């Protein structure tokens, strides 16, 4: 049983931002694609779980940027699951070039029964023969993001589009990150010197939903709240660490 999945890819122009570097949100996308490919290889991918009324759900994500690869460079994307808890488990990621890990991250996942809406036991999902010998790419806790936002922090609106929707019928996790990044100008993104992004997913959104963004500078970074009808659907932090 392959504990680790890795793939060599070229950074094409479609995943680069105005700086010619891999964009922040596409780093999330590369990691998600690797996780999906590895899950398929382990027999626990979306297609494998659909017939059992089960679906993978992202709970939290943390990504750390030491550097970002340039357009045209070849990198290795790597992922592996960490030993799960009862109903939640972390998956680690690395993006490496010439022996240097440029981006690392981890995501907390759960599996939801689409009929009962209750979480499944992860020990019943992961193969018995899978080992968990590799340490976490990002040891330590996920960020705690306070919800101390006010009405005058409101800065952006986004209506969920057809292109935001994934095979699960709701807004894709990476689409949230893309929409948040899109609410900043390139000058603002450069001034932030982003070294770490944390995302906490609270609720699913669907095509046509109207999302309200609020931003607040805090502790050398920016905290973001995305809400729908007054309820928080996502919290995100971008900053130096």
Report if pTM > 0.85.
yes
**How far apart are the C-alpha atoms of 215 and 222, rounded to whole Å?**
7
- All structural domains of the chain: 5-124 (3.10.129.10), 151-239 (3.10.129.10)
Spell out, as residue ranges, where the chain has pLDDT lower than 50. Answer: none
**How far apart are the C-alpha atoms of 88 and 27, rounded to whole Å?**
23
User: How far, in Å, are 2, 79, 128 from residue 43 at the CA level?
Assistant: 11, 16, 12
Express as a percent the part of the chain with pLDDT over 70: 100
Within 10 angstroms of residue 234's Cβ, the number of other Cβ atoms is 24
pLDDT given at position 1: 61
In the chain, alpha helices (H): 24-42, 46-50, 173-182, 186-192
pLDDT given at position 67: 98
Q: Read off the pLDDT of residues 68-113 as tens digits, 9 standing for 90 and up.
A: 999 999 999 999 999 999 999 999 999 999 999 999 999 999 999 9
């Amino acid at each position: 049983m392959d504990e680790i999945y890795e793939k060599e890819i070229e950074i094409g122009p479609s995943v680069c931002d105005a700086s010619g570097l891999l964009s922040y949100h596409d780093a999330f996308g590369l990691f998600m694609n690797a996780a999906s490919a590895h899950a398929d290889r382990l027999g626990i991918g979306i297609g494998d779980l659909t017939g059992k009324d089960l679906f993978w759900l992202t709970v939290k994500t943390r990504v750390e940027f030491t550097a970002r690869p340039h357009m045209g460079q070849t990198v290795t994307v790597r992922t592996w699951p960490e030993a799960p808890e009862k109903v939640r488990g972390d998956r680690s990621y690395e993006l490496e070039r010439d022996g240097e890990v440029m981006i690392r991250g981890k995501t907390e996942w759960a599996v939801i029964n689409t009929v009962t809406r209750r979480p499944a036991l992860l020990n019943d999902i992961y193969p018995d023969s899978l080992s968990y010998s590799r340490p976490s790419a990002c040891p330590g806790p996920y960020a705690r993001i306070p919800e101390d936002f006010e009405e005058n922090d409101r800065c952006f609106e986004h209506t969920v589009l057809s292109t935001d929707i994934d095979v699960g019928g709701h807004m894709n996790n990476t689409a949230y990150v893309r929409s948040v990044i899109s609410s900043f100008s390139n000058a603002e993104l450069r001034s932030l010197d982003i070294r770490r992004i944390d995302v906490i997913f609270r609720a699913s959104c669907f095509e046509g939903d109207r999302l309200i963004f609020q931003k607040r500078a805090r502790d050398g970074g920016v905290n973001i709240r995305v809400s729908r009808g007054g309820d928080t659907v996502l919290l995100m932090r971008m900053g130096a660490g």
